[in-house]
Amino acid sequence: MNRRRFLAASAWAATVAAARASLAAAGVADSRLGICTFSCHQHWKAVAAGQAGRGFSDAAGFYRYARDLGAEGVQTPLKGTDPKALRELVEETGGYYEGELVLPLKEADVAAFEEGVRNTRAAGATVARAVFTTGRRYEVFDTLEEFQAFHRQAERSLALVEPVARRHRLRIAIENHKDHTTDELVGLMKGLSSEWVGVLVDTGNNIALLEEPHGVVEALAPFAFSMHLKDMAVQPAPDGFLLSEVPLGTGMLDLGRMVAAVRKANPGIVVNLEMATRDPLPIPCLTDRYFVSFPERKATHLAAALRLVEENPPPPAVPAVRGKPLEQVLGDEERNNRDGLGWMRRELAV
């Protein structure tokens, strides 16, 4: 970030800070707007591949880059950044930091998890994202029994996490990550019943599980600690449909309704843009394999999901990366993120 752009970003941050101070004085809770690390996953992939000349390669660099784009803060792993240095940077520039952590699977993993919690708190975070799996339910599990074992493991992980989170006063936000249905995730939250373990509400993920997205957000809102904001498009495919993240305001979602539902439950929630610039994801819901981990869903959800696809034709162009040179992909990603953050400031600022 050059000096002119940094000063512009700082001036905008100062304006926002002043507005928030006025709101706070009036008793209105703070709700901030930023970006999560997966919005820049093409950039992070280039860094991991050793591509030279990348604009950032660690959490502090990502934070600076995000502020330049117009974000108030970031949600990202520490990625080798010194926690104290990141905290000083965030406090100096008036932003925020939300962490990311890997959940423990067994008792032997708790010490490493607790060290991650300590570092995340030292960096200034009060919330950290986590997921039960990085895979998609309909791709990972070959049988219903495999999913049931995974679900029991998720219960064990939460039981290990809760006392650590409570001890260090760090809220753990479990994302609805194309693994559990809304009812299953709500059941996990109610079963644990902890003020330190909740949900990261993603506005689009559960479309992949054939769920109506606005109902998903409204059901998860009472447990919300953080939010991933994305707009979505769908289009028919021979074995089901294709699912795409699209620029905010161009897709099928009523994002204002979704954010309002979550803010009503948690007025101070951070809303992080997650605009994944990638090829459309295939959702093979017309295949038998898709339903092995929730066989009843074919009868209860498939017809409504296919109607949703039929009733929501995609915009003229959806993001795609296949066949494009890297620099074009990275340029598309940056433009999508800058435009998304601009949309958020116009439409969602409190």
pLDDT in tens, 266-277: 999 999 999 999
Tell me what the mean pLDDT of segment 221-227 comes to. Answer: 98
pLDDT confidence of residue 276: 97
What is the tens place of the pLDDT at every residue in 9-35? 444 344 444 434 433 433 334 679 999
Of 47-56, 80-89, 96-105, which gets the smallest average pLDDT? 47-56
SS3 161: helix
Flag whether pLDDT at 48 surpasses 80.
yes
Phi and psi, residue 197, nearest 5°: -130, 120
10 in any annotated domain: no
What is the tally of structural domains in the chain? 1
> Percent helix, strand, coil in the chain (nearest 5)?
50, 15, 35
**Is 14 inside any structural domain?**
no
In a domain, 122, yes or no: yes
C-alpha to C-alpha distance for 79 and 198, rounded to whole angstroms: 24
Between CA 73 and CA 13 the distance in angstroms is 10
The pLDDT, as a whole number, for residue 28 is 36
pLDDT of residue 1: 44
Mean pLDDT of 159-170: 98
Starting at the edge strand that comes first in sequence, how are the strands of the sheet with 231-237 ordered? 231-237, 240-246, 281-283
In a domain? residue 131: yes
CB atoms within 10 A of CB 95: 23
Neighbours of 19 (CB within 10 A): 12
CATH number at residue 319: 3.20.20.150
Question: In whole angstroms, what is the distance from residue 346 CA to residue 33 CA?
Answer: 11
CA distance 309 to 313: 7
What is the rounded distance in angstroms from the CA atom of residue 80 to the CA atom of residue 44? 14
Mean pLDDT of 167-177: 98
54 backbone dihedrals φ, ψ, rounded to 5°? -75, 150
Residue 11 lies in a domain: no
Q: Can you give the residue range of the structural domain that contains 40?
A: 30-348
Q: Is residue 121 part of a domain?
A: yes
In a domain, 91, yes or no: yes
- Partners of 146 in the beta sheet? none
Q: What is the pLDDT of residue 30?
A: 65
In a domain, 23, yes or no: no
Residue 20 has a pLDDT of 41
When pLDDT is cut at 50, 70 and 90, the band that residue 80 belongs to is confident
pLDDT in tens, 240-284: 999 999 999 999 999 999 999 999 999 999 999 999 999 999 999
Q: Is the pLDDT of residue 184 over 60?
A: yes
pLDDT value of residue 53? 72
Contact 288, 239 (CB under 8 A): no
Please check whether residue 92 is in contact with residue 10, taking contact to mean a CB–CB distance below 8 angstroms. Answer: no
Burial label, 166 (beta-carbon count in 10 A; 0-12, 13-18, 19+): middle
pLDDT on residue 51: 83
Q: What is the mean pLDDT of the chain?
A: 92
Bridge partners of residue 200, in order along the sequence = 175, 226
